[in-house]
Amino acid sequence: MPNDAAPPEPKLWKDVPRGTVLHFAPHPDDEVAGTGGVLAMHRRQNDPVHVVVATDGIAGDPDRRYAAQQYAELRRSESRRGLEIVGVRDVTFWGFPDNCVLSASDVELGVQRATAELERVRPTIVYLPWEHEGHPDHHALHTIVLAAFERTKWQGLALGYEVWNAMVPDVIVDVTSVVEQKKNAMLAHASQLAYTRYDHCMLGLAAYRSMVHLGGKGYGEAFRIVRGSR
């Protein structure tokens, strides 16, 4: 029999939980596109925040306007500038190639890297792409981080965020007070905005997320609870 029940209304968080944060981003810019607001809120309350960017983002230049290594460095510098706008200066770049079909050994290397980050940072809160992100790099990173959770027996609050595909969320975080930081952090990624005005799209999605609880008068970021609870 089909389940005809409507999904539960997402909870509204007016603030973010306190703790040490570890954020996993598939590409340079996903960290601010998906969670720029909550990262700014964590830093506003002086939570330690460490960001991992998994790939070099070279495939984000389909017209080959730059040499590959030059473009990789450009994207890293844009990521650093965007993160500084939301108050984050602790970032690690794994430098994996993007937009590739991953072998079992590729996945294992990713799990080893994610495991090392969990053991080094010892976070209480982890942000990762949510389970149904349509981009293969986003989906792969979700799978990799989940495997690292199991390998390390990590216990904490893990929240899945949206970029490529909108979700039915468990939680909406009110990021109205920091939305200008999110906007400016996305604008730091000029090399990507030259191809796609994703800042327009992500701010529109954030505005939509204000509809249920905020009367459409603010901005929210949406999350799925992957494990743990607040």
41-51 pLDDT, tens digit each: 999 999 999 99
Q: What is the mean pLDDT of the chain?
A: 95
Q: What is the pLDDT of residues 10-32, one digit of tens each?
A: 999 999 999 999 999 999 999 99
Mean pLDDT of all residues in 160-172? 97
Structure token digits, residue 106? 């590729």
Q: Tell me the CB-side half-sphere exposure of residue 140, using CA atoms within 13 A.
A: 23
Q: What residues contact residue 124 under an 8 Å CB cut-off, 6+ apart? A: 17, 19, 20, 21, 156, 157
User: Is residue 204 pLDDT above 60, yes or no?
Assistant: yes
| pLDDT computed for residue 111 by the predictor | 97
Structure token digits, residue 198? 């994703």
The whole-angstrom separation of Cα 195 and Cα 219 is: 25
Alpha helices in the chain (DSSP H): 30-44, 68-85, 104-121, 136-152, 179-187, 190-193, 198-208, 211-214
| pLDDT computed for residue 100 by the predictor | 79
User: Is residue 61 pLDDT above 80, yes or no?
Assistant: no
Q: Which domains does the chain have, with CATH numbers?
A: 11-227 (3.40.50.10320)
pTM higher than the cut 0.85? yes
**Selection from 98, 107, 116, 104 nearest residue 144 by Cα:** 107
CA 144, chain centre distance (Å)? 14
The whole-angstrom separation of Cα 206 and Cα 183 is: 11
User: Is residue 122 pLDDT above 90, yes or no?
Assistant: yes
